[in-house]
Amino acid sequence: MQPPADAIERAAQLSDALHAHGHRYYVLDAPTVPDAEYDRLFSALQALERAYPSLKTADSPTQRVGASPLTSFAQVTHQVPMLSIRTETDTSAEGAKAFDLRIRKELDIPPDAPPVDYAVELKFDGLAMSLRYEEGVLVCAATRGDGAVGEDVTANIRTVGQVPLRLPPGAPSVLEVRGEIYMARPDFERLNERQLQAGQKLFANPRNAAAGTVRQLDSGIASSRPLRFFAYSLALMQGRDVPPPARTHYDSLERLRGWGFPVCAWTRVVSGADGLVHFHNDVNAARDTLGFDIDGVVYKVNALDLQRQLGFVSREPRWAVAHKYPAQEALTTVEGIDIQVGRTGKLTPVAKLSPVFVGGVTVTNATLHNEDEARRKDVRVGDTVVVRRAGDVIPEIVSIVPERRPPGAEAFLMPRQCPVCHSVALRFEDEADYRCTGGLVCGAQRKEAITHFASRKAMDIEGLGDKLVELLVDTNRVKDLSDLYRLRAEDLARLPRMAEKSAQNVIHALEASKQAQLPRFLFGLGIRHVGEATAKALVRHFGGLDAIMDAPEEALLAVDDVGPVVALSLRTFFDQPSQRDMVRQLRELGLHWQESEPQASRESLALNGLTLVLTGTLPTLSRDEAKALLEAQGAKVAGSVSKKTSYVVAGAEAGSKLEKAQALGVAVLDEAGLMALLAGNP
């Protein structure tokens, strides 16, 4: 329905008023109407847009929150790369002086010449963001990514009140602005309080909370979290209404202010090394009162013609530097040392600390990394310790205060059992970490272990990806592998975003996986140090699973590819009753595989001692099929060509590997030649 003229006019008035009120509230921090009045205007515009959908535009204040969650983020190629800035490692005042000295040297400025002017800014601890506007409307917000390509997070950035959805008249028709998405400390504390009350995971710090929010696929979630924005550079202006080039970086920031972007009030211009030092000291003194986290300050040569003259080195501008601060430290006491078990089974000692405010946050935990590190620092329960937020982010214990150690404090000893599943914890040769050997039976490792079991190179259970595994584990539908094979299609269909057909497909894939290849099953168990090649060697040598499970270490060491570390890992895994019970249950649920006569060694195999490399696409065999045929005859299949390569098997579109084989004089086979080699007729 075509809206009447008065509706069009009223919608435009409401939109203009809401944009103006939003700018005064979010950017200027000087609201002129109470929240109730803003809500009344917002509701009136919503009602008009519902009645006349054609009035709903991309820059409407009602469109800050999208309606439907995304399935993934699209990639965005930055028209102007988002480059990084070099960090000055000297955190003292000398770091500022060193930067000024480098600039003067690069510009060949004599010592008695006037000082260089610098634009100085805060180095926000958030997430870099690029905003692109076309015809005055925000069309894309993209993360830095690798500097050349980022992710399109426009739907989430629309929810940030400080980001203009529409620019005022007179702005260039194409404009790209760079800045930082961050979360203020009071907002972060309130968000974590909400998370705690809802029984949800707490965020470690404001930066993690901001980054996690920006990458939410559902902009409704993003809108519920209090993100903010500061602009710090003008990257691109094109098209109509492009003003004359600015002379200085600071002038370009003033233009951004005029177009409605928030620019930090700490941004200013100073002269020479003394100005840099004073700014560094002033910000350091005020850090705890800023209301948001920073990890340093940034100095930029202010004159844009001098920036162009200085240019870049290794994709970093010569005309800018990030100057950080010494990590902040504080004293506290160690109340206990807990053991955390990671998704891959790594056991990490974590010191539980009396709460202490350091680096802008309250710290209650500090990782000790591993047993060697804990002993090196000699951290004990009851100790008074110096805590530092390394890089202003990660809490660490720098040292103990020996004279404050309480009598009877005992040295830390890493437990030899997993605190989650009580399986044996092992530290393998040449490794710093203890690891739980429970794997699939350990609650801490369950998601990672099941995802590995279902992966393409293991049991290849199509549809059972990490998202579904996470959902199944979090809802307690799957506690171990046997639960997978007890699932029903109707159980899966009840899960969020799981269609009935998709559920049925997963059940079919689980059923098909029961006819397993033994090497895939053995690899899928996730035994430490047992990869695909080792699993195949074990099956070739012993023939069946029971023989592998019962083999003593001496027998395991007779297998090619099995050394003392692998033999110990296998023996430890299968000596645990929980692992054997898991295998028994899987067999009872119908998992079976073809077993064969054991082969004493690979020496009797036709291709033993040969190394082959596969490249290109073969006419009838897949890469995996060709590899399996070769390995079954004792050959080793390598990933790169060298003088030790026996043959290169080349198919269509063979690339650099074929060229290298020809250069080295390595024999090249096609698929027919491969089959002849396998048949004993090279």
Q: What is the pLDDT of residues 331-386, one digit of tens each?
A: 899 999 999 988 778 899 999 999 988 766 788 999 888 888 888 889 999 999 98
CA distance 545 to 128: 52
**70 within domain boundaries:** no
Phi, psi of 385 (to 5 degrees): -130, 155
Core vs surface per residue 365-374: b (16+ CB within 10 A) or e:
ebbbbbbebb
Q: Per-residue pLDDT averaged across 563-578, rounded? A: 91
State the average pLDDT over residues 522-527: 93
What is the pLDDT averaged over residues 107-129?
94
Quote the pLDDT of residue 140: 95
On whether the CB atoms of residues 488 and 508 are closer than 8 A, the answer is no
DSSP state of 190: H
Do residues 98 and 122 share a domain?
Answer: yes
pLDDT for 469 beyond 80: yes
Residues 508 and 523 in one domain: no
The verdict on residue 269 lying in a domain is yes
The helix-helix angle for 272-286 and 93-106 (nearest 10°) equals 150
Same domain, 574 and 617: no
Task: Say which CATH number the domain at 668 has.
Answer: 3.40.50.10190
Q: Is 554 exposed, middle or buried (0-12, 13-18, 19+ CB in 10 A)?
A: exposed
pLDDT band per the 50, 70, 90 thresholds, residue 635: confident
Query: Is 78 contained in some domain?
Result: no
> Residues 621, 627, 633, CA angle at the centre, nearest 5°?
115
> Is 79 within a domain?
no
Asked whether the predicted pLDDT for residue 538 surpasses 70, the reply is yes
In this structure, the answer to whether residues 260 and 166 fall within a common structural domain is yes
Report pLDDT for 207: 85
Domain count, the chain: 6
Q: What is the mean pLDDT of residues 459-474?
A: 91
pLDDT for the residue numbered 597? 66
pLDDT at 67 over 50: no
Are residues 528 and 477 located together in one domain of the fold? no
Percent of the chain with pLDDT over 90: 49
Q: Which residue intervals of 52-92 are DSSP H helices?
A: none
List all residues 6 or more positions away from 410 whose beta carbon is below 8 Å from its beta carbon. Answer: 380, 381
Q: Which amino acid is at 178?
A: R
pLDDT of residue 602 exceeding 80: no
Residues 393 and 457 in one domain: no
Is 80 a member of any domain? no
CA distance 513 to 510: 5
Residues 268 and 376 in one domain: no
Check which CATH number belongs to the domain holding 136 and give it: 3.30.470.30
Contact 548, 593 (CB under 8 A): no
Region 163-186: mean pLDDT is 93
3-state SS assignment for residue 560: coil
Give me the DSSP letters along 118-137. EEEEEEESSEEEEEEEETTE
Supply the CATH number for residue 10's domain: 1.10.287.610
Give the 3-state secondary structure of 31-47.
CCCCHHHHHHHHHHHHH
CA distance 435 to 424: 8
Closest C-alpha to 395, from 327, 480, 442, 451? 327
CB atoms within 10 A of CB 304: 18
The CATH number given to whatever domain includes residue 393 is 2.40.50.140
Q: What CATH number does residue 531 fall under?
A: 1.10.150.20
Domain boundary among 416, 437, 458: 437
Q: Could you tell me if 422 and 480 lie in one domain?
A: no
Compute the mean pLDDT over every residue in the chain, rounded to the nearest whole number: 87
Same domain, 257 and 122: yes
pLDDT in tens, 13-51: 888 888 787 767 555 556 666 655 766 787 788 888 888
* The 3-state secondary structure of 398-437, one letter per residue: EEECHHHCCCCCCCCCCCCECCCCCCEEECCCCCCCEEEC
| pLDDT the model gives residue 278 | 96
Matching residue, tokens 């690798």: 146
Average pLDDT over residues 641-655: 91
Which pLDDT score, from 0 to 100, does residue 682 have? 62
State yes or no: pLDDT of 459 exceeds 50.
yes
pLDDT at 16: 85
Residue type, 209: A
Whether pTM > 0.75 for this model: the answer is no
Mean pLDDT for 114-137 is: 95
pLDDT bucket at 68, cuts 50 / 70 / 90: low
157: amino acid identity, one letter:
I
pLDDT bin (cut points 50, 70, 90) of residue 466 is confident
pLDDT of residue 9: 86
How many angstroms separate the Cα of 372 from the Cα of each of 369, 376, 395, 632?
8, 6, 18, 43
Is the distance from CB of 523 to CB of 530 less than 8 angstroms?
A: yes
pLDDT tens profile 381-408: 999 998 877 544 568 888 888 888 999 9
Question: 74 in a domain, yes or no?
Answer: no
Task: Identify the band that residue 142 occupies on the pLDDT scale cut at 50, 70 and 90.
Answer: very high
The fraction of the chain above a pLDDT of 70, given in percent, is 93
Final residue of a domain: which of 279, 296, 323?
323
User: Could you count the other beta carbons within 10 Å of the beta carbon of residue 112?
Assistant: 5
Residue 420: is its pLDDT beyond 80? yes
pLDDT at 647: 95
- The answer on 613 and 583 residing in a single domain is no
Active-site residue list? 123
* pLDDT computed for residue 631 by the predictor: 79
CA dist., res. 189 & res. 247, Å (int): 41
**How far is C-alpha 344 from the chain's CA centre?**
16
Looking at the structure, do residues 563 and 640 belong to the same domain, yes or no? no
| Number of residues that make up the chain | 682
Q: Report the distance separating Cα 664 and Cα 465, nearest Å.
A: 42
- pLDDT at residue 70 in the model: 60
In this predicted structure, what is the pLDDT of residue 31?
62
Q: Both 574 and 554 in a single domain? A: yes
Please say if the pLDDT value at position 440 is more than 70.
Answer: yes
Q: Is residue 82 domain-resident?
A: no
In a domain, 50, yes or no: yes
Backbone angles phi, psi at 58, to 5 degrees: -65, -30
Choosing from 323, 356, 378, the residue where a domain stops is 323
* Owning domain of residue 35: 5-64
